Amino acid sequence: MNKILISVVGPTAIGKTKLAILLAQHYKTEIISADSRQFFKEMNIGTAVPSLEELEQANHHFIQHKSITEEYTVGDFEREAIQKLSDLFKVHDVVIMVGGSGLYVNAVTDGLNTFPTIDPSIREKLNLELAEDGIRPLQKKLKQLDPIYFEKVDIYNPQRVIRALEVAIGSGSPYSSFLNKPKAKREFKVLSVGLKAERPLIYERINERVDLMVEAGLLEEAKGLLSHKDYNALQTVGYKELFKYFDGEWTLDFAISEIKKNTRRFAKRQLTWFLRNKDTQWVEYDYDPKTLLPKIETDIVNLKNG
């Protein structure tokens, strides 16, 4: 238990990649990505994948290692990430994990929760409702059946909404009632470091990032994926809005404004999720490395001794 996983968390566009690389270089170690949007090789600009220069500064794992045509669940990620950590901890005392996908972060640090077996016909019915009426009625139903989870989940992700609904309907109990069970036993300790900033600043950084993505060719990237728009991987902010533009439902300006709005909403839910972990050490986004690194060293010593 002298092995330490430093988990870097926080809202989108806050600077998690930069901090992860700083820590990886300081500890001469490697990085595991827990950003579910960055797993897919066809999605580059819209998911803010680390640049080639950033990837060269530290060895990353679970970046663009899957295709959008492949089924890849959080359970698959947990299994593969734990195996990768086992290998990395044979040569490193400290490994870095970075990502804003709270469910995937928790899968590695605490393990997944166990859910009851659900009749597949429930999911089929919900998918049919989604296809016919869109996601809004499903969001409304989730808010009624599980208001606790409704406040935490990305309600614009149909896969997550449908998963929560099928469990609630099939079991008769809220999806949230199956969460927060005893943690899985891990062979390492976790130091969670969160980046924070005032909300207006976070929103400003998000707006700037979206504008930069558009300048970098996000429209061309999304257009090239239009024929695959029904895949789960593409039911995400930055792509689904542009698909509506390409389909003639929205103007380009409105689609871009919706990307910004939905990304801001996503960041708000990320903060809600990560703030639940009372052990997270929160750091200002414009930290001074000369001050931060000694503090993390002290936190690691305390964690080992604790």
State whether residue 305 is helix, strand or coil: helix
Answer yes or no: are the C-beta atoms of 16 and 1 closer than 8 Å.
no
Type of residue numbered 237 = V
Would the annotation count 63 as a binding residue?
A: no
Answer yes or no: are the C-beta atoms of 49 and 63 closer than 8 Å.
yes
Answer yes or no: are the C-beta atoms of 109 and 5 closer than 8 Å.
yes
Would the annotation count 298 as a binding residue?
A: no
Would the annotation count 16 as a binding residue?
A: yes
Answer yes or no: are the C-beta atoms of 98 and 81 closer than 8 Å.
no
Residue entry with tokens 């305390």: 302
Answer yes or no: are the C-beta atoms of 33 and 55 closer than 8 Å.
no
Would the annotation count 14 as a binding residue?
A: yes
Would the annotation count 107 as a binding residue?
A: no
The candidate with the shortest Cα–Cα distance to 88, out of 40, 28, 151, 133, is 28
Provide the annotated binding site for substrate: 12-17
Provide the annotated binding site: 10-17
Provide the annotated binding site for ATP: 10-17
